[in-house]
Amino acid sequence: MITSNAIRLAVAADAAAIALMSRHLIEHGLPWGWDGQRVAQAILAPHINVAVTGPRGAPVGFGIMAYHDDDAHLVLFAVQPARQRQGLGKALLDWLEAAARVAGAERIRVEARRENLAARIFYNELGYHERMISKAMYNGQVDGVRLEKWLRVHDVSASGAAS
């Protein structure tokens, strides 16, 4: 059983393994943007949470979420293939969403490759809806889909809409 205790904030020793997961599970066929150094910087950044599950130095799943003024952005997210479909992704995302709520985020944004049906179904199942398809979103090569999940009711009157 996955408990919230199974999720923890990443430490520097996790950076290399997270970067390799990104390389193989997310950035395959594209330039390697999230190398170990960039992940290590994210771990230290005050406006970013890097959540992991698994042993120190050898995480089996991770999520990187950045917090902005009113919303949060799920930047990278993956679970190792041998550990997929065991609820780890949901546990990680629940943890990151709880942190986003505490931080005051109204919504969470995330992107996935258009052809990545597993990720699209995963996010759909967890309440994310698809806003648009973006052609050549990744490195001018690969189409993407943009998704979002509202965490609380959006107050349209506050944004100047006529009543």
Ligand X SMILES: CC(C)(COP(=O)(O)OP(=O)(O)OC[C@H]1O[C@@H](n2cnc3c(N)ncnc32)[C@H](O)[C@@H]1OP(=O)(O)O)[C@@H](O)C(=O)NCCC(=O)NCCS
Rule CB under 6 A: which of 30-69 touch ligand X? none
Separation of alpha carbons 51 and 129, rounded Å: 23
Q: Name which of 143, 95, 99, 139 is nearest 117 in CA terms.
A: 143
Separation of alpha carbons 124 and 147, rounded Å: 9
Quick check: helix, strand or coil at residue 123? helix
- Residue 119 in the binding site for ligand X (CB under 6 A): yes
The CA distances from residue 142 to 17, 36, 89, 95, 123, in Å, are 25, 23, 24, 29, 19
Closer to ligand X by CB, 40 or 112: give it.
112
Closer to ligand X by CB, 82 or 161: give it.
82
Separation of alpha carbons 121 and 111, rounded Å: 13
Give the sheet arrangement for strand 7-9, strand by strand: 7-9, 48-53, 61-67, 71-79, 107-113, 142-150, 129-138
Interface with ligand X: number of residues (CB under 6 A): 20
Q: Which of 106, 116, 134, 142 binds ligand X (CB under 6 A)?
A: 116
Q: Which of 9, 58, 118, 133 binds ligand X (CB under 6 A)?
A: 118
- Residue 89 in the binding site for ligand X (CB under 6 A): yes
- Residue 26 in the binding site for ligand X (CB under 6 A): yes
The nearest distance, CB 47 to ligand X, in angstroms, is 20
Of 3-11, 12-20, 115-123, 149-157, which segment contacts ligand X by CB under 6 A? 115-123
Closer to ligand X by CB, 98 or 118: give it.
118
Q: Where does this chain bind ligand X (CB under 6 A)? A: 25-26, 76-79, 84-90, 112, 116, 118-119, 121-122, 125
